[in-house]
Amino acid sequence: NAGVTQTPKFQVLKTGQSMTLQCAQDMNHEYMSWYRQDPGMGLRLIHYSVGAGITDQGEVPNGYNVSRSTTEDFPLRLLSAAPSQTSVYFCASSYRRAGELFFGEGSRLTVL
């Protein structure tokens, strides 16, 4: 039982490049979400999903896309990376809305 798995753990991009952060969970959780963590700003919600085929925007969705084709996977796409997207990204899942969030170990992204 791996829980929430994020890849890659570290990534360096140049401005304008695109990439996808992968997130997978093996707990059959319906709810999944992406947060970014920046010093002094806590965890800010980017996008979330309440089930396969359903996604919605969080607090800071601009510059990011998501999809949820399966219950297990919830990838986060950066179409044209900007230095302001340098951050640590966390994926989280929950068995239900307003339930305990299980977080991955994070993906540290640097955009030059």
Contact 69, 6 (CB under 8 A): no
Closest residue by Cα to residue 79 from 20, 23, 33, 10: 20
3 state DSSP class of 84: helix
Instruction: Report the residue number, 60 or 111, with the smaller CB distance to another protein.
Output: 60
Q: How far is the CB of 56 from another protein (least distance, A)?
A: 7
With binding defined as CB under 8 A, does residue 61 bind another protein? no
Task: Pull the structure tokens for residue 82.
Answer: 């900007």
Signed CA dihedral, 81, 19, 29, 57: sign only: positive
> Using CB under 8 A, which of 19, 58, 63, 86 touches another protein?
58
97 counts as binding another protein under rule CB under 8 A? yes
The residue ranges that bind another protein (CB under 8 A) are: 4, 33, 35, 40-45, 48, 50, 56, 58-59, 90, 92, 97-98, 100-101, 103-106
